[in-house]
Copies of this chain bind each other. A is one copy, B any other.
């Protein structure tokens, strides 16, 4: 693949990790960072994640590919203006919700230059210092409403994701947002709520610290995730998230009732049912 000048808007966990991969896989001839947080911008340069920092306007003018690695509310506020300014550049976003951003620019004259994607990778940390080598490898990336993108833009984006080791899936935005609620968004809400439960009930933090098992760490680690990223995701995917969250609360009520009523048989059945997740997660 031909190397391109690539602007990464938002050089945090996701943008920074992608920058490392783009550089290592020789996909970029130059990496331009756009970063409103001055400390993050400085850190991104120190860590050599990008070659230079530019304003958004300059970056859009200078780059051939513009990658939006910013919270999904910021995608909505920046995407139309960026598309007003581009000529033949490719614009990619990496957000966890896809319906609203795609809807927003549906009738834009440059719609074809935009490729809406969701690489299924992240950690609970944030900022450029959280960027890691080898991110995205062997994970799935979803490309939404691919038929609305120009063939050349789509080809380049697919090639990029393949080269950094991801496997491609195509999906309509509506289906994407529904599945994302199940396999990602609800896990974060559960984990945030579990952290709040334990912090509320367990006043002896030393006890948590001493006793916390691997199981606890595993269920609660996502609770460290950045609110600036997650609040807009939950709000943009409101209907699906609420639907899954209501079901989750109902499932927890069943556990509560079975224990309250000393109903071993029902509790056993609930856990047996849960064990079926083994079919899916090895």
Contacts and interface: CB of A to CB of B under 8 A. Distances in A.
Interface in A185-212: 186-202, 204-205, 207-212
Contacts of A268: 227, 231
Interface in A35-81: none
B256 A213 contact: no
A32 B230 CA distance: 53
Interface of A: 120-124, 139-140, 142, 169, 179-180, 182-184, 186-202, 204-205, 207-225, 227, 230-231, 234-235, 238, 241-249, 251-256, 259-260, 262, 264, 267-268, 270-281
A183 to B, nearest CB: 5
Given A211-B183, A215-B188, A222-B219, A256 B252 contact: no
Contact of A197 (B195, B196, B202, B244): B244
A221 B272 CA distance: 14
Contact of A242 (B182, B260, B270): B260
Given A187-B220, A219-B222, A223-B275, A180 B120 contact: no
Given A193-B252, A198-B277, A255-B193, A208 B223 contact: no
A205 B253 contact: no
Contact of A140 (B187, B199, B211, B221): B211
A198 B182 CA distance: 6
A179 to B, nearest CB: 5
Copies of this protein chain in the complex: 2
Nearest to A176: B211
A185 B6 CA distance: 48
Contact of A222 (B179, B215, B246): B215
B121 A271 contact: no
A151 B69 CA distance: 61
Given A140-B211, A194-B186, A198-B183, A220 B252 contact: no
B277 A211 contact: no
